[in-house]
Amino acid sequence: MAQQTPEPAGTATKRVVLITHEIDAPREQVFQGWIDPNQFARWWGPKNFTNPVCEVDARPDGALNIVMRSPDGVDYPMTGKFQAVVKPERIAFSAIARDHASNPLLEALTVVTFDEIGRRTRITVQTSAVGLAPVAAKMLDRMEAGWTQSLEKLGDFLASGQ
């Protein structure tokens, strides 16, 4: 099997991230956290980010429109479209990170699967992303950490029972 040599930090134009994370909640509840806009807004994004705009129409061809806000007040808009929503097993969606003038910065395709492990749920996230602008290299470098923090926030949110 051929190995890929990673690109030096800050130069990547493509990235594939595969993350598996277990959450102490039933699969249906975890899945609902991904398709309910109110729940989605509570956990999406890296630690300490919020989502002042979170529109999720979780059905094939349904739209995603999210604005993540960093702790220092910078907004990061993203638009996308659901490719597949198979309750409670799988979600696939495309996403385009945009700048404030709506120019595309990065394009990604994400597939999320949900597996029952007793009363726990194993989430597997596979994201393939391509940079469309020079700033995308930094975004790609931070993608794995961002996804990991998002999934940790989802687990914390579901454990809080809110």
Check if the beta carbon of residue 114 is closer than 8 Å to that of residue 123.
yes
Q: Supply the pLDDT for residue 8.
A: 45
State the alpha helices, DSSP H only, in 14-141. 27-35, 37-43, 136-141
Give the CATH number of domain 14-160.
Answer: 3.30.530.20
Q: Supply the pLDDT for residue 36.
A: 97
Burial, 22: exposed, middle or buried (Cβ in 10 Å; 0-12, 13-18, 19+)? Answer: middle
Helix (H) or strand (E) holding 116: strand 104-117
Strand, coil or helix: what is 146? Answer: helix
Is 0.85 surpassed by the pTM of this model?
yes
Give tens-digit pLDDT for 67-123.
Answer: 999 999 999 999 999 999 999 999 999 999 999 999 999 999 999 999 999 999 999
| 97: phi then psi, degrees, rounded to nearest 5 | -80, 135
